[in-house]
Amino acid sequence: MIIGVGIDVAEIERFGAALERTPQLADRLFVGGELTLPSGERRGIASLAARFAAKEALAKALGAPGGLLWSDAEVWVEESGQPRLRVSGTVAARAAELGVRGWHVSLSHDAGVASAVVIAEG
C-alpha cells in the first residue's frame, strides 16, 4: 500500500550558489557518503541537488511534518546504480508512525534542474 508520494525539483545553479555562499550547508544537508562518489571524489553539484530534492520529496511523502533532520535521511546507491534511502532518527520515527516499511526513490538531473520522486510504502 502506498502511504505517501513526494516530488521535488531543485535548480542546480541556484543550489550550487547556496553551497558556495554557505560552505557549512553541505554538512547540515548531507551525511558523509552522500558527498563523495565511490571513488572518493567529491560528488558534483547536480548530483547533490538531486539528493537534496530527494530529501525534500521524502519529507513530502511523510506529510511534511516539522522537526525532521536532513541528516536523518541518506541517499545511497547500490552497485547496480539504483538509488536507495536510509532513514534514522526523526525521519525513521515519523515513518514508523505512518507504517512505512519501504521506500522507492528516483533521481534525475537535466537542463539545469535536479528532480526526485519518493514513494513511501506500507
- Residue set of the binding site for Mg(2+): 8, 56
* Alpha carbon distance 21, 57 (integer Å): 24
* Residues β-bridged to residue 107: 116
User: Nearest CA to 83 among 100, 104, 62?
Assistant: 104
- In this structure, the strands spanning 102-110 and 113-121 are antiparallel
* DSSP result, 85-111: EEE-HHHHHHHHHHT--EEEEEEEEET
User: How many of the other CB atoms lie within 10 Å of CB of 86?
Assistant: 14
- Residue set of the binding site: 8, 56
17: cell is 550558489
